Amino acid sequence: MIPLAVPNLNGNEKKYLDNCIDTTFVSSVGEYVTRFEEMIAEATGSVGAVATSAGTTGLHAALSALGVQHNDLVIIPTFTFIASANAVAHCGATPWLMDIAEDTWCMNPKVVREELASKCEKRKDGVYHVATGRRVAAIMPVYTLGNMPNMHEFREIADEYGLPLMVDAACAIGATFEGKSFGSLADLSVLSFNGNKTITCGGGGAVVGCKQELLDRVRHLTTTARVWPDYDFDMVGFNYRMTNLQAAVGVAQMEHLESFIRVKRHAREYYEENLRTLLTKGVSYFPTTEGSSCWFSGIVLPEGTKLQDAKDFCAKLKEDGIEARSFWKPVHLQKPYEDAPCSDIHVAESLWERIITLPCSTGITDEELATVVEKTKEIL
């Protein structure tokens, strides 16, 4: 079977895990946590990083650190993994769901600007969504597939409305915007190191940013808001720290970041070059922004394709030993968020059922890519 996206654990992972066991440092204190945080901060151009137990917990802690509260609204794209919305809901807030742009698959800043201008009013104590009476507490784009939207536009909008700008950068390790990594583009950005990500810790996340004070707040929140050295706690915190075991795997993975990203980008280019003949049949590619980390790659089936057709296509590939999958179902179509406010959503709706993710593990070979291309062409 050629898998969709499996971890590549051929480096120092075992050695570092053994070291954790030998030294008994298996919990949330240990040299690997510190090293992992340093490596993530450097790779993302951030002043620091706070490693967390998962991307979702990192998102929750970051939203909390930015002051998102019960009953607030947080602006996010509808086309994302449900964890982005869940983290908002964990704060007691509700996602305000926006459409995406066709050329990035990221939240469309124009839609956000229009929605804010037409549906909100600025008051002394913040921005309020008139129809629901709720305060808008933050804007949170997602770096879909490791693509970058125009972050200058989001920064402008955030500043104009006095809102914090946070990013769900779960899939974006290795991505750059205008030649630089993304650590300083938002107030806080959150990565995931789940098993299907380019770099994995088994499970894990990290919060990065350019303001030390904010990162300190995140660290405090993720460590039960404990005031050392005694059993004093100054707020309701979370136990969201990454363990040394997770970080040991993460450090070994980070030693290969460059080569992993190279393979991800190569897979994207390979599919584009070798599936070109399918363009005449109405098939298209995933969008690639400059500096994209190309987390996942694949194709978009012709307009009008329904989810069942996409699933049938994947089933046929599976018979040939190839794992392919459909992709995120938008949040506004998910049961827990049916009633969440949303913009007009036509781009995400016309797109999501037609997306096919093709194998793109960081260990994939050209032979395997060639097999995927051959079988994909045969079926289509």
Min separation Cβ 247 and ligand PLP, Å: 14
DSSP letters, 246-282, are HHHHHHHHHTTHHHHHHHHHHHHHHHHHHTGGGGGGT
Say whether residue 80 binds ligand PLP (CB under 6 A): yes
Min separation Cβ 25 and ligand PLP, Å: 23
Q: Which stretches does DSSP call E strand in 155-256?
A: 166-168, 176-177, 180-181, 188-192, 205-209, 226-227, 232-233
The token pair that represents 263 in the structure block: 């393979």
Say whether residue 84 binds ligand PLP (CB under 6 A): yes
Q: Which range of residues in 53-61, 245-253, 259-267, 351-359 is near ligand PLP by CB under 6 A?
A: 53-61
Q: Which range of residues in 81-89, 98-106, 209-217, 269-277 is near ligand PLP by CB under 6 A?
A: 81-89
Say whether residue 171 binds ligand PLP (CB under 6 A): yes
Say whether residue 55 binds ligand PLP (CB under 6 A): yes
Say whether residue 104 binds ligand PLP (CB under 6 A): no
Which residue among 51, 142, 221, 249 contacts ligand PLP (CB under 6 A)?
A: 142
Say whether residue 192 binds ligand PLP (CB under 6 A): yes
Which residue among 25, 81, 182, 327 contacts ligand PLP (CB under 6 A)?
A: 81
Query: How many Å apart are CA 316 and CA 311, to the nearest integer?
Result: 9
Min separation Cβ 169 and ligand PLP, Å: 8
Say whether residue 172 binds ligand PLP (CB under 6 A): no
Peptide bond into 229 cis (omega under 30): yes
Query: How many Å apart are CA 234 and CA 23, to the nearest integer?
Result: 32
Which residue among 109, 146, 205, 291 contacts ligand PLP (CB under 6 A)?
A: 205
Stretch (H or E) spanning 219:
helix 212-222
User: Comparing C-alpha atoms, which of 355, 371, 377, 334 is closest to residue 145?
Assistant: 355
Instruction: Give the other-Cβ count within 10 Å of 152's Cβ.
Output: 12
Instruction: Give the other-Cβ count within 10 Å of 232's Cβ.
Output: 9
Min separation Cβ 130 and ligand PLP, Å: 29
Q: Footprint of ligand PLP on this chain (CB under 6 A)? A: 54-56, 80-81, 83-84, 142, 168, 170-171, 192, 194, 203, 205
